[in-house]
Amino acid sequence: MQNRRHWILLATLIVAACGSVPPVVERPASRPTAPERRPSTKSNEVVMFALGLIDTGYRFGGKNPEAGLDCSGMVSYIFNQATGLKVTGNAAEIARKGLPIEKSRLQPGDLVFFNTRNAPFSHVGVYIGDDRFVHAPSSTGRVRIDRLSAGYFAARFEAARSYFD
């Protein structure tokens, strides 16, 4: 009989717990929720232009596909052609002019920056989604796609920037 009361009490507690309302957990006031970012028409155009440059030759200081591109020249060319935006300068200057965003909030068309020559913001690429970016590395001599999570780039990732609202 004692054992039966024990099981009835336990079942009552379980049923009561299932019917109770969980406490409301409030977010701290110091951490507002940022609005959701969605790719724009312009950012999609940037991605399409970037993909169109795959296998273009590399050239230090290069600013057009016919002569060859370096990383910042590639970004300048893409943004000018795809959106009409004048995004100029070396990778560090391009980073200074962009809107800082968290890596976890990257959207296609955003820019990703790396420290590849022991210099902050020494390399830039165009994020295309799914952990991938298009860039013009001097090491292979061609514009290509790589993953942000790849060992070399994961260790050298510095920041992300957007030129879109």
Q: Which amino acid is at 108?
A: P
Annotated catalytic residue 18 = no
Q: What's the distance, CA 159 to chain centroid?
A: 9
Catalytic residue among 53, 109, 133, 135: 135
Catalytically annotated residue among 53, 71, 124, 128: 71
Phi and psi torsions of 11, nearest 5°: -65, -40
Is 6 labeled as catalytic in the residue annotation? no
Tell me the C-alpha distance between 15 and 146, whole Å.
53
CB atoms closer than 10 angstroms to residue 77? 21
Kind and range of the H or E run holding 92: helix 91-97
| Amino acid at residue number 94 | I
Say how far apart CA 70 and CA 135 lie, in whole Å: 8
Q: Is 135 a catalytic residue?
A: yes
Can you read off the two tokens belonging to residue 71? 């990383």
Catalytic residue among 83, 110, 123, 133: 123
Sequence-ordered list of residues with C-beta below 8 angstroms from that of 135, at least 6 positions apart, any chain? 71, 74, 123, 124, 125, 126, 143, 144, 146
Which amino acids are annotated catalytic? 71, 123, 135
